[in-house]
Structure 1
Amino acid sequence: MGLIWSLIVGGVIGAIAGAIINKGSSMGLIANVVAGLVGSAIGQSLLGSWGPSLAGMALIPSIIGAIILIAVVSFFISRSA
């Protein structure tokens, strides 16, 4: 049940981050989950584990990390296209 809960929270974090930088409509469910999970790791390694936590992920640093990840990936995808 812990893995499923982490995937759900990761998807929500990725969707929030995509909505904040207006890339949420072009991302699918899998991309939201990946952005949320990887963004959580990036955010917590850069900013630490402060603020409210859910499924082992600090929400505020995780959202900031997902925003950074989506912005960097979008930058490189738009440059290559």
Structure 2
Amino acid sequence: MGTLGAIIGTIIFGAVIGMLARLALPGKQQVSALLTVALGVAGALIGSAVWEALGGGPTRGIDWIRWFISIAAAAALVIGYEKVTAKKA
């Protein structure tokens, strides 16, 4: 279990990732702000895991590759959520 600061940092990072993922997707997504944060946090965790699996480690600056992986993962989660919850016409 992480410290409170790490948890708050992950939530903030996830919120940014979630918003960037939604901006990267075309059209309007039917996803609430709270769900955007949750999917962003999940995307951030997936992105970090993939980054570490690829051999990435701490850097002296911004981990751009990890950010892009996280945004892509969150975007995939948003698309998946929309597919699962879409109303059949």
For normalisation by structure 2, the TM-score amounts to 0.65
Q: CA-atom RMSD, angstroms? A: 2.7
Aligned length in residues: 76
Percent identity (aligned): 24
* Unaligned ranges ≥5, structure 2: none
Alignment of 1:76 with 2:60, yes or no, is no
Q: Which has the larger radius of gyration?
A: 2
TM superposition outliers: structure 1 runs of 4+ over 2 Å: 26-29, 40-45, 47-54
Instruction: Find the counterpart in structure 2 of residue 66 from structure 1.
Output: 74
Note the residue ranges of structure 1 that are not aligned, 5 or more in a row. Answer: none
| Counterparts of 1:23 and 1:61, CA distance in 2 | 22
CA–CA separation in structure 2 for the residues paired with 1:30 and 1:53: 25
Structure ranking higher in strand proportion: 1
Distance 1:20 1:44 in 2: 19
Among 60, 63, 75, which residue is 1:53 paired with? 63
Compute the TM-score of the two structures, normalised by the length of structure 1: 0.70
